[in-house]
Structure 1
Amino acid sequence: MELSGHVDVSAEVEGLKNLRRTIRQAGGDTKDLRNANLAAAQTIVPIAAGLAPKVSGRLAASIRAGATQKAGMVRAGRKLIPYANPIHWGWPKRHIAPNPWVATAAAANEELWLKVYEQHIDRILGKIEGKKR
């Protein structure tokens, strides 16, 4: 098990590569995809924070969204909170059972973040259609 100190949870969107190519070919800005990915990931942050184990509250406070043009991510932990990864995914050698609160928040609220993502994609496509006219 790699102990990187943080948890990364992401979802793959089918056809995203083709969408990026289509946006580029139509003269659109693929950087808008980063905003769509970030907005979708941000919907999970407060839900995951509510589900996070709370001893000191530092773990819940470390949950944040991130994004690239290719993916949106929800992360927890950092260098000073290295226990996020083993608490989330478990660590059998140390008898730490998994408690995947970030993954649970993302899976249980897929409809919510997917709706936000689709709204952003519709705006991007609307911009492209506006340029064609």
Structure 2
Amino acid sequence: MAVKDVTFSSGGAQVKIEGLRKALRAFEAAGASAEDMKDLMHSIGLIVVATATPNAPTLSGALAGSLRAGRGKTKAVVRAGGARVPYAGVQHYGWPARNIAAKPFLADAVQSTRAKTFAALEDGVGDLLKKQNLT
């Protein structure tokens, strides 16, 4: 399997990798752990977090402090909010009934880092393929 077998396409804020299951099975068959893919996806999420953090609405800084990257095997996830910051969704998407305007800092960060995240994904998958002698 070569890097060219893994293709990238975007639809909104999602990235679809055609052939990812096949690539993951090949990685696992060659002895790679799922931890390698989790590390890659986490590092891609951190790119978005680094861009979104300074643009998050601030009053106390709790919302910016709640941004974090997940560790999925097949997807990069960025989360905001939690029990101590339950208003993260309201700040991001707005609440017209309460006269709260949307401040889509996460969506903006995804858009502005798109080229960087695609490059990191392509490089990371390529490195994993080389590491497992699959190229």
For 1:59, the aligned partner's letter is L
Any residues of structure 2 matched to 1:23-102 within 5 Å, and which?
23-102=27-106
The structure-2 alpha-carbon separation of the partners of 1:90 and 1:24, relative to structure 1 and needing over 3 Å to count, comes to same
**Residue 103 (str. 1) matches residue 114 (str. 2):** no
What is the rounded CA distance, in whole Å, between the counterparts of 1:67 and 1:101 in structure 2? 21
The sequence identity of aligned pairs, in percent, is 30
What is the rounded CA distance, in whole Å, between the counterparts of 1:102 and 1:18 in structure 2? 30
TM-score normalised over the length of structure 1: 0.80
What is the rounded CA distance, in whole Å, between the counterparts of 1:103 and 1:94 in structure 2? 22
For 2:14, the aligned partner's letter is A
**Residue 115 (str. 1) matches residue 119 (str. 2):** yes
What is the rounded CA distance, in whole Å, between the counterparts of 2:31 and 2:45 in structure 1? 26
What is the rounded CA distance, in whole Å, between the counterparts of 1:22 and 1:76 in structure 2? 33
Identify the range of structure 1 (24-33 vs 90-99) with the bigger mean alpha-carbon deviation. Answer: 24-33
Structure showing greater relative contact order (alpha-carbon pairs closer than 8 Å, 6 or more residues apart): 1
List gaps (5 residues or longer) in structure 2. 1-12
TM-score normalised over the length of structure 2: 0.79
Contact 1:89–1:99 (8 Å) recurs in 2: yes
How many residue pairs are counted as aligned between the two chains? 122
